[in-house]
Amino acid sequence: MISDKVRVRIAPSPSGNLHIGTARTALFNYLFAKKTGGEYVLRIEDTDLDRSSEAYKQNIFDSLKALGLNWDEGPDVGGQYGPYKQSERFDIYPKFAQMLIDKGYAYECFCSNEDLDKEHEEANAKKIPYKYSRKCLNLTKEERDALKAKGIVPSIRFKVDSKELVFHDLVKGELKFDTSLIGDFAIMKSNGTPTYNFAVVVDDMLMKITHVIRGEDHISNTPKQILIYEALGAEVPQFGHLGMILAPDRSKLSKRHGATAVSDFIKQGYLTDALLNFVAMLGWAPSDGVEIKNVDEIAADFRIGELSSSNSIFEYEKLNWMNGQYIKKMDISRLTDLALPFLDCYDTSKYSREKLEHIIEVTREPITLLKDLVYDTQYFFEKPVYEEDSKEILKSDLSKTVLEKFKKDVLEYDFDNLEDVHNKLADLRAYFKENHGFKPKETMWAVRCKITGRTRGADMAAILNILGKEEVIERLSAV
C-alpha cells in the first residue's frame, strides 16, 4: 500500500555529470515534499553497468548537496526501504518477474537480437510502427525446455492487452493511451538485469513512492509502468510530467550552448542559490511576480498544479543577470569564501582577511560570475598590466601634469583612513578643475590608469586604501 505521507524521489542515472534538467526535476520534487511535509528520496539507477561510474555517482551527490537539495533517504544516509542503488537490488527483480509469469502477465522470450532486428527491418519496409510479433507467447513448456537445453537464456516480456489507458497527469491533465500500439515489451534481459520500466516500478512500489514528478520525455514510459503496477496489484502513484528545457534556439540544450552540468556552472562561478532560483522559474512562476527568492520562499509558494506543461527556454543571459543580483546582495564574508578559490592564481596571503573582504566588496558590483574576479582584482595582487587605452591616456600632457602633483601630494595621504584618501582625491579633482580646467574624470583617469593600468574599476579611494602607501608610491615611480 502506498504511504499516506507524500513520498517523492529523484532517480538519476550515473552515466554522466548531473544535468541541469535533472537538477530541476530534483528541485521540483524537493519543493513538493517540503511544501507537503513529505519525504524526499534519492535513488541511483545504475542498472546500466557499462555506462555507470563511481565518479558520476559522486558528482550527483556533490551537485545535489551543493544546491542544498539534501535527501531524507538515499545511498549515503540509508532508510527503511533500501538499498538505494539499483545495482544492489538485483536479487529483488527476478522474484517479481516470476510473479508476473505465474499470474499470466509475462512470458519467456527466446528471440535473439538477430531475430528482433529482422522484425524491425520488416516493419520498416512496410512503413508500420514496430511491435514484437509475440512468436514466443504460446510456446509450450516442452518447447521452452528444449530451447533452454540448447543454452539459450530467455528474456522476459510483459504481455500487453489492448485497451484505452487513461490517467490524470498532475501537470498535463488527462492523458489517454491506446495500449495496442505498445506491443509486448521486455522487463528482464537475458543477462538477468531488469529493464528500466520494470526496475523503476518495483523500486517505486517497494519504496512507497506516492508521486512521480519527472520530465515529459518519460511520458511514453508511463503507460507501460501503469500496466506493470496493475499487474502486480499495486497502487499506481500520481504522475506529473514537466515540459522540457530547451536552448535559446529551441533545440535540445547541449554543451554547444554553454554549461549544462551543475558542476560546470559552479566551476564558472555561478552561485548555487542563484542557479537554484533560476531553475525554479523554468516552468513555474511565483504568485507575487517576484523572481528573486530563496528556496524556503519558493517552497512556501510552490503549487504543483500550476507547473507549466510547455517547454522552457534556458536563457543564459537571464541566469547571468540573476547571478549578478545574488553576488551584489550576498553577505560579504560568505561571498569572499566562495570567491577565494577563483583567486588561487594570486598570492592572497599578502592581505589580511579584512582587506580581502574589502577587495571583493569594491569589485563585485559589475560582475556576473565569480570567475570575473580574476580579471577585476588583478591589480590588487600583481603589478598593473597597462591596457592600450590606458597607455594612450598616460602619454598625454594632461596625465603627466596630474601625476606629477599627485606623486607629491600622496606622501601626505593617510592610507589607513579611507575617508581621508577619499577627501584628498576630491581636493585633487577640485584643484585641477579650478586651476587647469581639467574635467574631474580626466584627472581621475590619469591616477587610475597609472595605478591599475585601466580606465575603469573599483572606487579609486578604496584601491589606494587597500594597496597602501608603499605600493602606490612604487607604482607612481615606475617608468
As annotated, the active-site residues are 255
Contact 171/309 with Cβ under 8 angstroms? yes
Three-state secondary structure of 357-378: HHHHHHHCCCCCCHHHHHHHCH
How many whole angstroms separate alpha carbon 1 and alpha carbon 232? 12
Integer angstrom CA distances of residue 27 from 205, 281, 405:
22, 11, 59
Residue the block writes with cell 587597500: 466
Residue the block writes with cell 550515473: 14
Max Cα-Cα span within the chain? 111
Integer angstrom CA distances of residue 64 from 37, 69, 244, 459:
20, 5, 20, 38
Q: Parallel, antiparallel, or unpaired for β 106-109 and 155-158? A: antiparallel
How many whole angstroms separate alpha carbon 154 and alpha carbon 454? 72
End-to-end Cα separation, the chain, in angstroms: 81
Integer angstrom CA distances of residue 264 from 17, 23, 255, 275, 327:
9, 13, 10, 12, 18
Contact 441/428 with Cβ under 8 angstroms? no
Cell of 183: 506491443
Q: Parallel, antiparallel, or unpaired for β 7-10 and 39-42? A: parallel
At residue 361, what is the residue type?
A: E
Residues 6+ apart with CB under 8 A from 399: 393, 445, 446, 449, 450
